[in-house]
């Protein structure tokens, strides 16, 4: 259950909340429907969990719908997802047929709500072909791509583009992630909810409880990476960095991640990680349930050094969460991490396990820098990457796209 808008006033200020209410008045009664592929796990579902109720509070008729599919469907969409991020994947004509058939079945169920909506926001590739099926749509349709599709595996993009180009507009998290499409392409970075279970302040008892639960030593530095078990997150590279640091400093490592129902590849990656850990008692590999938000929050707050050593990344919301907890991040020099981590300012960008190990050792020997950089990082998140900014940009988009005008300045 998300908090009401007024609960954020103490964090972002009353002017920001007042601004959102004024914009909501302009959109009162508008029917907004989000469509995604999973209610559990992943940043997109988390965003919609707070965004939909807040839009409703502002007077919009907002809802989100889930498409249902078989295990095979999600294996195929995972391949599509990987292909869009540049991975060479094999998707046969039969697979694409399964993809379209599952979408067709879902369309049969969702048809009334999709046809009547004023704005439909379709998230990521899984439900992207719904637009092809909804011939009697009345509203504007927007495709929201949360991942980096700047260098896709061309055969995958060639098919998916035939759906994407039918939309009235698309949204990408960063300019670097976009692909040319024959409609306006907007840029909206994602955000975090500072009052969610994953981000709210925790009391000392909750932190010590988590430390005890996972058998973490309070006297030794703790390195943590939390993200899905996904090859692009490079958990094996994190273990390599840990081993380099371990030669000189007795650190502990937590690699924690949740499984999402649309990510069948995660199990295989988890097995590889366990094999790489070789039973080292100071490497804690945790497969967390998707609702373990408080545990993730506690691990983030217990960490001395934070890693997000991705080799390919969308925006990287995990990084934003770290920063909100006042922690500098050692992140892979890719995707949205580059936007968030500014060297010597809010963290460090690295390219190799060796680079990560170097920065870990630097920070462990300059504890005051951890506090300084963490403080800077938290303020940047407050000003730019909380849900209030995200909500404002969606409202701006709805106002702009419903006006049907192309002017750079719209009076509403």
Partner 1 sequence: MTPFEVKDCALLLRMSGLSPAGNLRELRERITGCSENVLFHHYCETTLRTTFDNPDYRNDFAVWAKLYLGDRVLAERLGILDPYTFRSLEELRTATLEVIDERLGESLMVPWARPGDELFFLESTTVVFDAGIRITQPSRLGAFIRKMTNGSAYYHYLEARRRPPFGKDDFTLWLMENEDANRPYILALASVDFYFHSLPHLRRELANVLTEAKVAK
Binding site for partner 1 (CB under 8 A): 14-16, 18-19, 22-23, 26, 175-176, 178, 180, 184-189, 339-342, 345-346, 377, 380, 383-385, 389, 392-393, 395-397, 399-400, 407-412
Select 229 or 398, whichever has its Cβ closest to partner 1: 398
The two beta strands, 222-226 and 283-288, are unpaired
Q: How far apart are the first and last CA of the chain?
A: 32
Cβ–Cβ < 8 Å for 183, 170: yes
Select 62 or 401, whichever has its Cβ closest to partner 1: 401
The distance of closest approach from Cβ of residue 281 to partner 1 in the complex, given in angstroms and rounded to an integer, is 37
Select 90 or 412, whichever has its Cβ closest to partner 1: 412
Select 233 or 389, whichever has its Cβ closest to partner 1: 389
Phi-psi region of 274 (alpha: psi -120 to 50; beta: other; left: phi over 0): alpha
Cβ–Cβ < 8 Å for 328, 356: no
H-helix or E-strand containing 380?
A: helix 367-384
The distance of closest approach from Cβ of residue 191 to partner 1 in the complex, given in angstroms and rounded to an integer, is 9
The distance of closest approach from Cβ of residue 121 to partner 1 in the complex, given in angstroms and rounded to an integer, is 14
Cβ–Cβ < 8 Å for 177, 149: yes
Select 14 or 70, whichever has its Cβ closest to partner 1: 14
Select 255 or 400, whichever has its Cβ closest to partner 1: 400
Cβ–Cβ < 8 Å for 239, 273: yes
Report the alpha-carbon distance of residue 21 to residue 51 in Å, rounded: 14
The distance of closest approach from Cβ of residue 192 to partner 1 in the complex, given in angstroms and rounded to an integer, is 13
User: Who contacts 106 (Cβ-Cβ below 8 Å, separation ≥6)?
Assistant: 67, 68, 69, 127, 130
Question: Bridge-partner residues for 65, per DSSP?
Answer: 35
The distance of closest approach from Cβ of residue 242 to partner 1 in the complex, given in angstroms and rounded to an integer, is 26
The distance of closest approach from Cβ of residue 173 to partner 1 in the complex, given in angstroms and rounded to an integer, is 11
């Amino acid at each position: 259950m998300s908090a009401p808008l007024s609960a954020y006033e103490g964090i972002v200020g009353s002017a920001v909340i007042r601004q959102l209410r004024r914009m909501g008045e302009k959109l009162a009664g508008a029917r907004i429907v989000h469509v995604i592929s999973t209610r559990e796990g992943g940043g997109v579902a988390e965003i919609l969990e707070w965004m939909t109720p807040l839009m409703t509070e502002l007077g919009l008729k907002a809802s989100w719908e889930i498409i249902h599919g078989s295990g095979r469907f999600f294996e195929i969409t995972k391949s599509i997802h990987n292909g869009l991020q540049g991975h060479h994947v094999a998707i046969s004509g039969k697979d694409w047929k399964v993809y379209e058939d599952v979408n067709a079945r879902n369309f049969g169920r969702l048809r009334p709500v999709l046809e009547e909506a004023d704005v439909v926001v379709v998230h990521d590739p899984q439900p992207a072909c719904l637009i092809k099926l909804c011939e009697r749509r009345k509203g504007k349709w927007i495709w929201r791509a949360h991942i980096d599709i700047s260098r896709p595996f061309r055969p995958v993009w060639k098919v998916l583009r035939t759906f994407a180009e039918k939309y009235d507009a698309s949204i990408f998290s960063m300019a670097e992630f976009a692909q040319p499409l024959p409609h306006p392409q907007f840029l909206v970075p994602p955000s975090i909810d500072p009052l969610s279970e994953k981000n709210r302040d925790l009391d000392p008892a909750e932190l010590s409880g988590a430390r005890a639960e996972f058998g973490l030593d309070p006297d030794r530095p703790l390195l943590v990476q939390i993200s899905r078990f996904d090859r692009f997150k490079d958990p094996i590279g994190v273990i390599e960095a840990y081993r380099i640091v371990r030669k000189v400093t007795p650190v502990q490592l937590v690699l924690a991640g949740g499984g999402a129902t649309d990510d069948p590849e995660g199990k295989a990656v988890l097995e590889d990680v366990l094999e790489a850990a070789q039973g080292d008692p100071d490497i804690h590999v945790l497969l967390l349930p998707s609702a373990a938000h408080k545990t993730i929050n506690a691990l983030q707050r217990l960490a001395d050094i934070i890693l997000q050593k991705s080799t390919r990344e969308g925006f990287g919301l995990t990084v934003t969460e770290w920063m909100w907890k006042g922690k500098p991040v050692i992140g892979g020099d890719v995707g949205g991490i580059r936007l968030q981590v500014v060297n010597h300012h809010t963290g460090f960008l690295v390219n190799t396990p060796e680079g990560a190990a170097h920065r870990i050792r630097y920070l462990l020997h300059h504890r005051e820098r951890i506090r300084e950089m963490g403080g800077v990082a938290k303020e940047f998140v407050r000003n730019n990457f909380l849900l209030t900014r995200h909500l404002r940009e969606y409202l701006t988009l709805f106002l702009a796209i419903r006006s049907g005008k192309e002017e750079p300045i719209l009076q509403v």
